[in-house]
Chain A
Amino acid sequence: MAGLSLLDWALDGVLALLLLWLAWRALSTPALFRAVVLFIAFGLVLALVWARLFAVDVALAEMAIGAGVTGALLLAALVRLAPPIGRGRAHGRNGERDGA
């Protein structure tokens, strides 16, 4: 039993440190794309933390909304912020016409 709890402590400690490190990296990195990817990784680790806290509902929501959908939204916003790619914008006009 003591061994198990030691393992638990180690796992929780690694998760907590990883979470703090990812949060710090996501905030401090100057490259926006890298920051978004770190944020998604942060969300996935946070979902593991919620699961460890027996909050499976929150873990599911964090995984799907916090990491998945928010990450996709941030990446989409990033594409819109960066005109050098160019491809997206040109195709966007086509898309609008198709959608209308």
Chain B
Amino acid sequence: MMLRPRTDRQAGPASSARADKGLPPAARALLVLALLAVFAGLVLAVLSLSEPAPGLAAAVDERIDESGVSHPVTAVLLNFRGYDTLLELVVLVLAVMGAWSVGRARGCAGNVPGPLLRQLPRLMAPLMVLVAGYLLWVGAHAPGGAFQAGSLLGGVGILLCLSGYPLPGWANGPALRVSAVLGVAVFAALGVVAALLPGGAPLDWPPAQAKTLILTIELAAMLSIGVVLAALFAGGRP
């Protein structure tokens, strides 16, 4: 539920690591004091949390049988709060559109790795694809799911790029673009179909078909997430 915002937020501090270079010592001391105050406030906030954490866990547990999966996180992400996940996939597509509109990718063919890195993907890539498939499947009843599996696929793309295996020509054209939006397209299309069923609502999966629908969406989402993350690493239009 909280996966993406948290990882997004972390990108900030490191990238602005040099922002406070050259501050006068007084300002720096003030900054440290302010940060300590925030830290103390956070500690107080944590200590004053009520012990049985208020939340929707009980509500999720109660209706988990209707979700089609038995892992509560997947049930929330793909069923109970499907809109959030759909919009997260849209954000990823927007990010890659932004990166592509800035310039062209440097391409991976120019990376000349050492012999070790050249051979590593031959061992690693198939294993990583296998683990991604496993994470996708296991997400129905244990920790895992489309985002984790997709980022693993993205890692395969990054590894292949770094070790000098470029995409084959046929994969660089429309196929790349289609697979980048496939997750959003499948998710949204199935959501609309669910709305057209008698008594249905958008993104409201009928319990009997929920597992199939969720796995279909996750499969498409995994592919899109992997493509988008690898495309972001390549850093521009292909």
Same assembly: yes
Interface residues of A (CB under 8 A from B): 23, 26-30, 32, 35-36, 39, 42-43, 46, 56-62, 64-66, 68-70, 72-74, 76-77, 80, 88-99
Contacts of A46 in B (CB 8 A): 10
The 4 closest A-B pairs by CB, nearest first: A95-B107, A91-B110, A92-B106, A56-B143
A73 in contact with B233 (CB, 8 Å): yes
CA distance A97 to B61 in the complex (A): 54
Q: How far is the CB of A92 from chain B (nearest CB, A)?
A: 3
Q: Which B residue's beta carbon lies closest to that of A99?
A: B107
Interface residues in B223-238 (C-beta closer than 8 Å to A): 229, 232-233, 235, 238
CB-defined A-B contacts under 8 Å, sample of 22: A26-B14, A27-B17, A35-B14, A39-B10, A42-B10, A43-B10, A58-B2, A61-B151, A62-B6, A62-B7, A64-B151, A65-B147, A69-B232, A73-B232, A73-B233, A90-B110, A92-B110, A95-B105, A95-B166, A97-B107, A99-B167, A99-B172
B7 in contact with A94 (CB, 8 Å): no
A60 in contact with B109 (CB, 8 Å): no
Judged by a CB distance under 8 angstroms, whether B152 is at the interface is yes
B17 in contact with A98 (CB, 8 Å): no
Q: What's the count of A-B pairs with C-beta under 8 Å?
A: 126
Additional pairs, 6, CB under 8 Å, beyond known A69-B155, A92-B107, A95-B106: A29-B17, A61-B148, A66-B7, A73-B233, A92-B106, A95-B108
Interface residues of B (CB under 8 A from A): 2-4, 6-7, 10-11, 13-15, 17-18, 21, 73, 104-112, 135, 143-145, 147-148, 151-152, 154-155, 158, 166-167, 172, 229, 232-233, 235, 238
A60 in contact with B6 (CB, 8 Å): no
Q: How far is the CB of B95 from chain A (nearest CB, A)?
A: 11
CA distance A70 to B152 in the complex (A): 12
A66 in contact with B109 (CB, 8 Å): no
B17 in contact with A60 (CB, 8 Å): no
B143 in contact with A96 (CB, 8 Å): no
Complex partner residue of A57 from B14, B18, B144, CB under 8 angstroms: B144
Contacts of A61 in B (CB 8 A): 3-4, 7, 147-148, 151
B106 in contact with A72 (CB, 8 Å): no
Q: Which B residue's beta carbon lies closest to that of A23?
A: B13
A99 in contact with B105 (CB, 8 Å): yes
With A57-B148, A72-B233, A80-B235 known as contacts, the answer to whether A88 contacts B110 (CB < 8 A) is yes
Interface centre among B2, B15, B17, B143 (most CB of A within 10 A): B17
Q: Which B residue's beta carbon lies closest to that of A66?
A: B7
Q: How far is the CB of B164 from chain A (nearest CB, A)?
A: 10
Complex partner residue of A95 from B7, B15, B109, B135, CB under 8 angstroms: B109
With A57-B145, A58-B2, A80-B235 known as contacts, the answer to whether A74 contacts B151 (CB < 8 A) is no
A68 in contact with B110 (CB, 8 Å): no
B105 in contact with A69 (CB, 8 Å): no
Contacts of A68 in B (CB 8 A): 151, 155
